Amino acid sequence: MLSAPVKTIRMALTGNDAGAEAMRQIDPDVAAVFPITPQTELMHAFAAFVANGKVSTELVTVESEHSAMSATVGASAAGARAMTATSANGLALMWEIVYIAASLRLPIVMPVINRALSGPINIHCDHSDMMGCRDSGWIQIYSENSQEEYDNIIQAVRIAEHPDVLLPVMVGSDGFIISHAMEVVDIYPDEDVKKFVGDYNPKYGLLTGKDPMTVGPLDLQDYYMEHKRQQAEAMKNARKVILEVGKEFGSKFGRTYGYFDTYKLEDAEYGMVAIGSTAGTAKVTVDRMREKGEKVGLLKLRVFRPFPGAELVHALKHLKGLTVLDRSDSFGAEGGPLFNELRASFNEETHKPLIRNFIYGLGGRDINLEDLENLFRKTMDMVKTGEGAGSSQYYGARGDE
Amino acid sequence: MPTLKEMSHRPERLTGGHRLCAGCGASIAVRQVLQGTTEDVVVGCATGCLEVATTIYPFTAWKTPFIHNAFENSAATISGVESAFRTLQRKGKIPMSKDVKFVAWGGDGGTYDIGIQSLSGALERGHNMVYVCYDNEAYMNTGIQRSSATPLCASTNTAPAGSCSVGKAQFRKDLTMVVAAHHIPYAAQASIGFWNDLVKKAEKAFAVEGPAFLLVLAPCPRGWGFPNDKAVEIGKLAVDTCFWPLYEVENGVFRLTRKVPDAKKKPVEEWLRSQTRFSHLFKPGCEGWVEKIQKHTDEEWARYLEMDGKKIF
Amino acid sequence: MSLKTWKEIPIGGLILEAGNAESYKTGDWRSQRPIVDHEKCINCLTCWIVCPDSSVIVKDEKMIGYDYDHCKGCGICANECPVKCITMKPESDFR
């Protein structure tokens, strides 16, 4: 039980409700809403807050996700705090504007309730949606559970709006597994959250600026690269800001956040890296295996963009064997995105673990305690025999064994 | 309605130094439409000739706040700006006394076709904004490709006239009626050939509470094939041949704002002969098309005369 | 105009000087230029309202001339002038 400096209210909430609660307390100036399973109920809950005067948000009931992000961009460029939420194909539909939001340096915060990209159409959890956007210039933060979703959305506002950053942030949480499951969540007092996110007074705004400005000009070959270089710099600055905000959040609300969490990893010989709810399951597996004397540990990655390569290497390099779990594939790449980026971070290290990759859980395919123990055993086998080192395989698709 | 002399005192909102073609109808449309209000305006614009040529980094020809987002979402983007305005006023960050007009621009590409969803959504939601489509009857910025605004038989690069093609095989989409069917307070069709009619309509559009729509014919010397000095003249000819009726739908009541008397009505052939995009119609093998277009124009005109003064929505 | 570095320009592609396109002289596009006969001109200001480039200069409600820094020589003003007091002359006469 954490000792929170503020008086928390313990509530039983679904992930979507927790997300809506965070939005209620943030009280954005403008929010755009368009449904897509499994995000839908998050904005339903928020729309009810709007309808009952619990927030002062202007809710724009747009006719597609492309327009959701377009209207959010318009509102943010105007100088207002603007948010929207989506999943999977909704994110895919707004993909064009997602890139534009980042290039316009708009501090939009968007919960993404992670769901598989079509096709075939599938409404269940995997990370292909947010992973598909990893080049877009958005900061990407993943949540393990409802508490983290709630906490991450609140922190995201501060990260995004930081003058050294000014980049949009997507906060992922697993579709259905978290969004629709009831968990215990500590909700902080409205006043404290309001104070933490602060008032939004942007330097630039179509409506709030002193002088008229032009947003979104045409760049020719002579300036596009410089504008992109600025985005890269902002991402670099975000590394520090994410930690600062996570630390401040901890001092105010009792839970400190960084790039990742480790669980029984320091003295582990065999490790697993995972993103999202699977990390929660894996912690139980770690406990069970530790009871049997197995030296296993877990790293739960929270921040994927910017990618904390150096810090990950520092936390993982002592391991003999490491399994990276990817809940999405990059077809044709030799492994999933997390595996490839982590593996690349290890490239210059002389002392590094053997690493292998499993693509799992696509389209909501379940992964349970036995599966995770199985994967730890495969990690041990890899260290013992070298089998599978550097490889990427699908785990759980019928027909492979 | 101010006189030209009165208007001449107002500051220009679009400067010279933009890179639209010499004789372009689009910037004429902008200058005339923006005379419809003296309030501050925030301009949104879809990707296209107007946006690209007026905002080549690091230059902007706009003296107003201006936002370009993408090709198909000018209406959705301005919906967001307008929504922000309302919230910021409610929160006291912008004084309640301040009046700002929101105007979203798009070419026929960004309005009739790829932008129609975004436009329809914004109209349906009832945002307090004006949407202006500068209609040059094709995707001009990308090099003259057919849009649903392209008239029948016009030759474009994706529907060129050829030995087995007469050019565009469909009549143009009647967008103003589609918009009017959204039951918005004001929708109108105008032409840069008649600045007086256009400015009057712009005034009404800006004054209205809720969404207003202006479809402005903006002839394009490059894409239509006529000399640089003729855009306004062609804009008049379009109206005088009844190819482009000038009308408004105000609270559902349809009204022709220029009833071309039969005696003054010019044959559509004159309109077609004035532009090289129709020149194939006057070569052997294309017989009958001019008549077909005249018949269609006559039928449409008769329909509009019948509707004149009636509540249609 | 020397190109600026990424550290020198505003973020997000923002252009903060409204109307700075005025410093871009499209006047050198011209192959012909409008010349107005002020004697015949009735100051109806039709030329002013039809100019695509905001290049007709009106002062105290009188048409006093052209902004030749920006006028592209399209000839619309000459074509629309109701008293035909504007003539298009070859630009080479003036350079």
Rounded to an integer, what distance in angstroms lies between the CA atom of residue A78 and that of residue A331?
39
C54 touches chain B (CB under 8 A): yes
Best residue of A215, A222, A224, A226 to probe chain B, by most B CBs closer than 10 Å: A215
- Three-state DSSP class for B307? helix
Cross-chain residue pair C14–A233, CB shorter than 8 Å: no
The answer to whether residues B305 and B251 touch, using CB atoms and an 8 Å cutoff, is no
Cross-chain residue pair C14–A229, CB shorter than 8 Å: no
- Three-state DSSP class for B211? coil
In chain B, whose CA is at the least distance from the CA of C60? B9
Name every residue whose Cβ is closer than 8 Å to that of residue C84 and which is 6 or more positions away in sequence.
C40, C78
Q: What are the chain C neighbours of B32 within 8 Å (beta carbons)?
A: 49
Rounded to an integer, what distance in angstroms lies between the CA atom of residue C92 and that of residue C95?
5
| Touching B: C residues 62-81, CB under 8 Å | 67, 69-76, 78-80
Average pLDDT over residues B187-215: 98
| Touching C: A residues 49-68, CB under 8 Å | none
CATH class belonging to B4-307: alpha beta
Cross-chain residue pair A207–B84, CB shorter than 8 Å: yes
Rounded to an integer, what distance in angstroms lies between the CA atom of residue A252 and that of residue B90?
30
Whether the CA torsion A296, A301, A307, A308 is positive or negative: it is negative
Residue B69, amino acid = N
CATH number where C62 lies: 3.30.70.20
C14 touches chain A (CB under 8 A): yes
Determine the pLDDT at residue A1: 44
Report the alpha-carbon angle C75-C81-C85, nearest 5.
90
Rounded to an integer, what distance in angstroms lies between the CA atom of residue A78 and that of residue A66?
18
Asked if residue C95 has pLDDT above 90, the reply is no
In chain C, whose CA is at the least distance from the CA of A219? C13
Determine the pLDDT at residue A235: 98
H or E, element range at A25: helix A15-26
Best residue of B229, B234, B274 to probe chain C, by most C CBs closer than 10 Å: B229
The rounded percent of chain B whose pLDDT value lies above 70 is 100
Q: What are the chain A neighbours of B106 within 8 Å (beta carbons)?
A: none
Asked if residue B288 has pLDDT above 50, the reply is yes
Fold of A9-253: Rossmann fold (3.40.50)
Q: How many CA atoms lie within 13 A of B28 on its CB side?
A: 36
Candidates C93, C45, C53, C43; CA nearest to C74 is C53
The answer to whether residues B73 and A70 touch, using CB atoms and an 8 Å cutoff, is yes
Q: What are the chain B neighbours of C18 within 8 Å (beta carbons)?
A: 60, 62-64
For residue A313, the Cα-to-chain-centroid distance in whole angstroms is: 20
Average pLDDT over residues B248-272: 96
Report the relative pairing of strands A321-326 and A270-274 from DSSP bridges. Answer: parallel
Of C19, C26, C67, which is closest to B19 when you measure between CB atoms? C26
pLDDT in tens, C6-53: 999 999 999 999 999 999 999 999 999 999 999 999 999 999 999 999
Q: Measured over all CA atoms, what is the biggest interatomic distance in chain A, rounded to whole angstroms?
A: 68
Whether the CA torsion A314, A315, A321, A323 is positive or negative: it is negative
Of A206, A208, A220, which is closest to B67 when you measure between CB atoms? A206
A282 touches chain C (CB under 8 A): no
Of B86, B88, B117, which is closest to A63 when you measure between CB atoms? B117
Q: Is residue C89 part of a domain?
A: yes
| φ/ψ (deg, to 5) at B126 | 80, 30
H or E, element range at A77: helix A65-78
In chain C, whose CA is at the least distance from the CA of A232? C6
C94 touches chain B (CB under 8 A): no
Rounded to an integer, what distance in angstroms lies between the CA atom of residue B221 and that of residue B137?
12
Q: What are the chain B neighbours of A215 within 8 Å (beta carbons)?
A: 65-68
B25 touches chain C (CB under 8 A): yes
Report the alpha-carbon angle C76-C78-C80, nearest 5.
65
Of B14, B61, B229, which is closest to C78 when you measure between CB atoms? B229
pLDDT in tens, B143-182: 999 999 999 999 999 999 999 999 999 999 999 999 999 9
Burial B159-174 (b: 16+ CB within 10 A, else e): bebeeeebbbeeebbe
Q: Is residue C4 part of a domain?
A: no
Q: Is residue C5 part of a domain?
A: no
* B195 Cα to chain C: minimum distance (Å): 8
Cross-chain residue pair B14–C29, CB shorter than 8 Å: no
Q: What are the chain B neighbours of C22 within 8 Å (beta carbons)?
A: 15-17, 61
Q: Which residue's structure tokens are 């399973």? A: A37
Same fold, A9-253 and A260-394: yes
B17 touches chain C (CB under 8 A): yes
Average pLDDT over residues B6-17: 96
Rounded to an integer, what distance in angstroms lies between the CA atom of residue B240 and that of residue B161?
26
The answer to whether residues B101 and A245 touch, using CB atoms and an 8 Å cutoff, is no
CATH class belonging to A260-394: alpha beta
Q: Is residue C76 part of a domain?
A: yes
Determine the pLDDT at residue C32: 98
DSSP characters over B44-98: EE-TTHHHHHH-BTT---BSS-EEE--SS-HHHHHHHHHHHHHHHHHTTSS-TT-
> Confidence class of residue C58 from pLDDT cuts 50, 70 and 90?
very high
Range of the domain at C64: 26-93
For residue B94, the Cα-to-chain-centroid distance in whole angstroms is: 31
DSSP E strands, A315-353: 321-326
Q: Where are the alpha helices (DSSP H) in A254-346?
A: 277-291, 309-316, 337-345
pLDDT in tens, B72-84: 999 999 999 999 9
Domain range annotation of chain B: 4-307
pLDDT < 70 regions, chain A: 1-4
Candidates B219, B215, B196, B271; CA nearest to B241 is B271
Of C23, C70, C76, which is closest to B229 when you measure between CB atoms? C76
The answer to whether residues B43 and B64 touch, using CB atoms and an 8 Å cutoff, is yes
Cross-chain residue pair B60–C20, CB shorter than 8 Å: yes
Determine the pLDDT at residue C1: 66
Rounded to an integer, what distance in angstroms lies between the CA atom of residue A178 and that of residue A374?
24
| Touching C: A residues 225-264, CB under 8 Å | 226-227, 229-230, 233-234
* C1 Cα to chain A: minimum distance (Å): 12
Supply the Cα-derived Rg of chain B in whole angstroms: 19
Q: What are the chain A neighbours of B84 within 8 Å (beta carbons)?
A: 29-30, 58, 74-76, 78-80, 82, 207
Determine the pLDDT at residue A183: 96
For residue B219, the Cα-to-chain-centroid distance in whole angstroms is: 10
Q: Is A304 exposed, middle or buried (0-12, 13-18, 19+ CB in 10 A)?
A: buried
B64 touches chain C (CB under 8 A): yes
* C80 Cα to chain A: minimum distance (Å): 33
C9 touches chain A (CB under 8 A): yes
Best residue of C9, C11, C22, C24 to probe chain A, by most A CBs closer than 10 Å: C11
State the pTM of this model: 0.97
**ipTM surpasses cut 0.85:** yes
Q: Is residue C12 part of a domain?
A: no
Domain range annotation of chain A: 9-253, 260-394
